[in-house]
Structure 1
Amino acid sequence: MKEKGRFLKKYRGNECLNCSVPLDIIDRYCHNCGQINTTKKLSFKDFFNEFFASIFSYDSRLRHTIVGLLFRPGMISKDYIEGKRVKYANPFRFFLSVSILFFIISGLFIDFDSIIPQEKEQNNGLLEINLTNNEHKENDIINDSIAEPGVDKEDEYVYFTETQLDTMSMFTAVNKRWKTYKSHYKKTGEPMATIALDSLKHEQNTYTKYLYKRSIKTKNLNENPLELLKFVFNKLPFIIFFFLPFFALMMWLLYIRKPFNYMEHLVFIFHTQTMFFILIGIAILIDQITKSEAASSIAMLVFLFYLYKAMRKFYQQRRAKTIVKFLLVNVLFFILAGIGSIITIIGSMFIF
């Protein structure tokens, strides 16, 4: 790799600045602690050059990795697990780098407003109705509704006292408390949990405050699901990163007779998923230029063919077996993705 910045020989010292071990001018790094041998003060340019180099590996490894992914499906993974690793970027770090770029590109060009236009129109209509209803309810007094506790109809004010909630089972109490808080916010529009709980004469603790805030969020998300969609989308890089190890476990079970351990399957998964992001990312850019969605459709077909070739070369099985397992992998992937999506959406409701 070409030397530049703090790596130049003229900046090398006679001892390590970190551990004081004697060094020679030919020593690029300290042989004791591994720190770079340089006396040059850290500049703004050096800092960001090294930062981006550490993320994207701006050297020959990047070129070899991209070429290997594009033109040698499955073989780059095979080389890596067989020990030929110097010329390739770390598959895990490279996956993170590509996925971050992909979600930046897709975040810039995906039009969320066009995904659920009907819901948006319906929500605008509901908002107008709610505003009209609120105008008529401005003079209502909350205590008039509280005078009849236990009402549990969708269009009426719902209120359960602490005494009533204490007599219920745990799950029933949570459900009724949730409805009470949601109904109270719908009627009063009070966003502050402490004020709302005081009006309701409910106990104020971490649990009740949290539940009141969640009920508000849920109501707002029902009126504007686009916000939840954007929130989940922004978390997808991390969700996918933690999802892939489960997919690798599925591959390990599918190829249990093959002499691959779990980590070797994971290397293959990270390489193929990285290729998916590269293909779809390029397709999104092409679609933006051509003002169509043809490139994305073609990219999906290309990736499916790529995945088949990668499985065939990496696992070294006959064509018929590979096709059967290829179909199984896709079915299992969609099942696993569906379960993961449900868990993600439910989890997002509690952290959004």
Structure 2
Amino acid sequence: MKEKGRFLKKYRGNECLNCGVPLDIIDRYCHNCGQLNTTKKLSFRDFFDEFFASIFSYDSRLRHTMIALLFNPGKISKDFVEGKRVKYANPFRFYLSVSIIFFIINGLFIDFDKFTSNIGKDAKVGKEALNEIEKSFVANDSIKEKISSQISETNGISESDKEIIKNAILATDSIPFSAFGKKEPKEVIYYTQAQIDSISFFSRPFKLWKMYDDYYEKTKETLTFKALADLKHDETRINKYVYKRVKKTNDLNDNYGRELLEFIFNKLPFIIFFFLPFFALAIWFLYIRRTFTYMEHMVFTFHTQTMFFILIGLAILVNQIAGTTTVTGIAILIFLFYLYKAMRKFYNQGRLKTIVKFMLVNVLFFILAGIGSAFTIAGSVFIF
């Protein structure tokens, strides 16, 4: 690299200006603190030269990382665990950077309003259909009476036909209204504060929930302190928390989960980040007979997940430009092939063993993803 500006030898000193350690003219940087060995005053040009030099220096590591990650599956992970790390970006920081960029790009094209609007339309159609069914059952008794009177007045119908018609009428009585969404009246017990205090700690939230939910449905009171005052309940933490959760849950019903979806989506980069160590643990058990440490499996996991975000992120951009959704499916197929090649390269096993473990890895991934999703949704309901 050609030296210029403050890097020139004529500006090098015999002592580090930062820590005072003795230096030689051949020392470009201080071997104690790493500061540049130069006595030249900082100029406007030097400032921007170093600024762009630092960018290109980072890009050099980024370039090596991207090339190895994209075109040589498993190589970057293998090099990293073998100690060849200087030219590559840190896998954990690189993963976080890529995942945040991915979710920013994805968030730009996700229309939560449209998504929840479509759900709302479907729900509205369903409610209208249920209302029509209920109306038809309300008129059921009068219809049966008319048919019965017509049967009694008709002499031209045989006895067997009359019996068939009667059975059809009676069959309508066997269909429960609840099957069509009609709510049974619910009996809710309203407790005093003294009664609430006598309820066990673990069952108390469930009792409060039923009571507060019924109260909110009847009054639509949004102020927690006023609701508790009307119910003559103390403003304890658990009382306030449960009532606020009731309000949030009813709001979710009104906007079809839009707020919860946005909350979960905004936390996904960190949720997946904390989920990946469990996936690495599953891979560790899968390769327990090999000499790889848990952290080496972690490096492989973060590299492959980073590649997944890159492929899906590019697919989303292409989908938006081309106005299609098929590219995402192609990207997933490419990633599955990439994962197989990466496993073959990193773990250095034969095709048959790699294929079997590749299938097991995907099964484990979907199991853990399902468990993780359930915990995420359940946890989000209580904290969002």
User: Shorter-normalised TM-score: what interval?
Assistant: 0.7 to 0.9
1:207 matched to 2:207? The reply is: no
Partner of 1:133: none
The 1:350/1:48 distance shift into structure 2, 3 A limit, reads: farther
Aligned twin of 1:238? 270
CA distance in 1, matches of 2:330, 2:380: 32
1:252 is aligned to 284
1:299 paired to 2:331: yes
| 189-198 or 64-73: bigger deviation | 189-198
Check conservation: 2:283, 2:297, Cα contact below 8 A: yes
Matched, 1:174 2:189: no
1:76, distance to aligned residue in structure 2 (A): 1.3
**Cα distance in structure 2, aligned partners of 1:297 and 1:69:** 20
Q: In the alignment, does 2:95 pair up with 1:64?
A: no
For 1:205 and 1:182, the matched residues in 2 are separated by 17
Aligned partners of 1:88, 1:121: CA distance in 2, in Å? 50
Aligned partner letter, 1:190? E
Match of 2:308 in 1: 276
Q: 2:252 matched to 1:221?
A: yes
Residue of structure 2 aligned with 1:198, choices 191, 216, 229: 229
Relative to structure 1, the CA distance from residue 12 to residue 183 in structure 2 (aligned partners, 3 Å threshold; closer, same or farther) is farther
Structure 2: gaps of 5 or more residues: 128-183
- Structure 2 CA distance for partners of 1:116 and 1:162, relative to 1, 3 Å: same
Name the CA shift for 1:185/1:3 in 2 (closer, same or farther; >3 Å): farther
C-alpha distance in 2, partners of 1:32/1:336?
46
Further displaced range: 108-117 or 304-313? 108-117
Structure 2 residue matching 1:59: 3-state secondary structure: helix
Q: Distance in 2 between matches of 1:220 and 1:39?
A: 65
1:190-233 CA-to-partner distances (Å, cap 9, x unmatched) read 33322221221112122322222222112212322122111101
Structure with bigger gyration radius: 2
Match of 1:327 in 2: 359
User: Which residue identity lines up with residue 207 of structure 1 in the other structure?
Assistant: I
Does the alignment pair 1:162 with 2:193? yes
Aligned length: 327
**Distance in 2, Cα, partners of 1:325 & 1:79:** 22
Match runs of 1:1-352 below 5 Å = 19=19, 21=21, 30-34=30-34, 58-121=58-121, 159-224=190-255, 225-352=257-384
Q: Residue 135 of structure 1 corresponds to which residue in structure 2?
A: none
> What is the CA–CA distance in structure 2 between the aligned matches of 1:10 and 1:223, rounded to whole Å?
73
Sequence identity percentage:
68
TM-score, structure 1 length as denominator?
Answer: 0.79
Structure 2: distance between partners of 1:189 and 1:49: 63
Alignment check: 8 A CA contact 2:188 2:210 kept: no
Q: Which runs of 5+ in 1 are unaligned?
A: 128-152
Higher mean alpha-carbon deviation, 186-195 vs 1-10, is at 1-10
Change (3 A) 1:51 1:293: farther
Aligned counterparts of 1:269 and 1:215: Cα–Cα separation in 2: 39
Length-normalised TM-score, structure 2: 0.73
Q: Determine the C-alpha separation between the residues in 1 that align with 2:245 and 2:51.
A: 39
1:23 to 1:319, Cα distance in 2 relative to 1, 3 A: same
Structure 1 counterpart of 2:169:
none
- Describe the superposition over 1:304-332 as per-residue Cα deviations: whole angstroms up to 9, x where unpaired: 00001111111111111111111111011
What is the rounded CA distance, in whole Å, between the counterparts of 1:154 and 1:46 in structure 2?
79
The 3 A distance-change label for structure 1 pair 122 and 283 is: closer
Equivalent in the alignment of 1:137: none
Alpha-carbon contact 1:56-1:94 (below 8 Å) kept: no
CA contact (8 A) 2:280 2:301 kept: yes
